[in-house]
Amino acid sequence: MAGLAPIDRAKAQAELIIDLDALVANWRLLAARSAPARCAAVVKADAYGIGTEQAARSLFHAGCKIFFVAHVSEGVRVRAVTGAEAEIYVLNGLLSGVERLQSYLSYGLKPVLGSLHDLQLWSGSGIGASVPAALHVDTGMNRLGFGVDELLSLAGMVQTVRVDLLMSHFVSSELPKDGLNDQQIARFEKLRSAFPALAASMANSSALFLPQQPFFDLVRPGYALYGGNPTPGSKNPMRSVVTLRTPVLQIREIKAGESVGYNVQWTAKRKTKLATIGVGYADGMPRNLMATDQRAGGEAVVNDKLCPFAGRVSMDLTVLDVTDAGDVRPGTMVELLNARWGVDEMAERAGTIGYEILTNLSRRYHRIYKGG
Ligand SMILES: *Cc1c(COP(=O)(O)O)cnc(C)c1O
């Protein structure tokens, strides 16, 4: 996906409209919610698929001065569009190699250290005395980060490097009733009292909506900035950021009993009007959105009506049942993602999460950035 040149409008099958004003409004809403804690923006993975440069630039001008990325390469891209003033943390920790360590110094990137190995490497590099780092403590994920007791035992060694942030990450913050949230907060509090001089950060998007309000000094939302629902099961408090539109390529009518698509998975129960669109799984449309005779698949908005998918999603094509959508003809615009049918709705049908939908948004789409 990444690496393909931008596709111009006349040659693209579909267009992805990215509303940077909505992105900024979402950041402001989360910043107001978490104040007086500072609000960062997580812009890893090409800003969850919407575009690192556009997202980081808009957010920086709106007042966001702290960014989190996963990779050094992403940090370099954020630095290029923000001022020297922006603080950029690299979540995935250090990877060995002198050249890579040098990038932290050259671009002023702050590594998020999460193991004794990281700490030794950083301390030994000589860079650790000048560029500040963050310490990531694992309070339950068992993925990246120091163990709680491990970090307590390393307090002396931590003195050998500059550190300005202590952070941890929630396992189930989108489930407010999960008891692990309280346990993680308690473990984090224990460490915070051992490192009282460090700013502290725990909250991702969903944690901004937890009753415990674990905001500390800095919050780190990603998903909600891009319009994803941080409160699954309740109304989405965020503004929609992405709209995906594509024209109908062809219309056909079939009789009851005829099938649609590969392997006869979907059979018409009535006389049916079908519309074929030029978006498929190669565009990041999950193949799991297939509609079979056993289960409903994806849906798309045509003439303000939700129209179900019919049959399997192909590589470059998908078929919709537009029987109930009124006047549909070649060229009629179909919306696959919009404010009404967003990444959460699509993800639920596909058996995945909206994060995966966003980060798979194809480079084949012509991208249109609004506002910002
Ligand atoms: C991705 C990530 C976030 C942002 O999480 P969202 O659920 O997208 O808000 C915050 N912190 C860490 C460590 C992350 O990896």
CATH of 242-341, one of 2.40.37.10, 1.10.1040.10, 3.90.1150.10, 3.40.640.10: 2.40.37.10
pLDDT recorded at residue 300: 98
Mean pLDDT of the 247-272 span: 97
pLDDT recorded at residue 259: 98
Burial of 334 (0-12, 13-18, 19+ CB in 10 A): buried
pLDDT per residue over 201-218, tens digit each?
999 999 999 999 999 999
Q: Kindly state if the Cβ of 114 falls inside 6 Å of ligand 1.
A: no
pLDDT recorded at residue 96: 63
> Does the pLDDT of residue 1 top 60, yes or no?
no
Cα–Cα distance for residue pair 143/114, rounded to 1 Å: 10
pLDDT > 70: percent of the chain: 98
- For 22, list phi and psi in degrees, rounded to 5: -70, -40
pLDDT recorded at residue 94: 85
| Catalytic residue check, 44 | yes
Q: What confidence tier does 3 reach under pLDDT thresholds 50, 70, 90?
A: very low
CB 242 within 8 A of CB 28: no
For 21-226, CATH gives 3.20.20.10
Domain residue ranges in the chain: 21-226, 242-341
pLDDT recorded at residue 4: 55
Q: 259-260 and 38-39: which strand pairing?
A: unpaired
Query: Which atom of ligand 1 is least distant from the CA of 167?
Result: 13
Mean pLDDT of the 338-350 span: 97
Cα–Cα distance for residue pair 107/89, rounded to 1 Å: 11
Does 103 or 2 have the greater pLDDT score? Answer: 103
| Catalytic residue check, 262 | yes
Q: Whole-angstrom distance between the N-terminal and C-terminal Cα of the chain?
A: 25
pLDDT > 90: percent of the chain: 90
Gap from CA of 43 to ligand 1 centroid (Å): 9
Ligand 1 site-directed mutation target among 42, 113, 356, most atoms within 8 Å of CB: 42
Q: Kindly state if the Cβ of 169 falls inside 6 Å of ligand 1.
A: yes
- For 335, list phi and psi in degrees, rounded to 5: -110, 120
Q: For residue 319, which of 365, 353, 285 has the smallest C-alpha distance?
A: 285
Cα–Cα distance for residue pair 51/67, rounded to 1 Å: 14
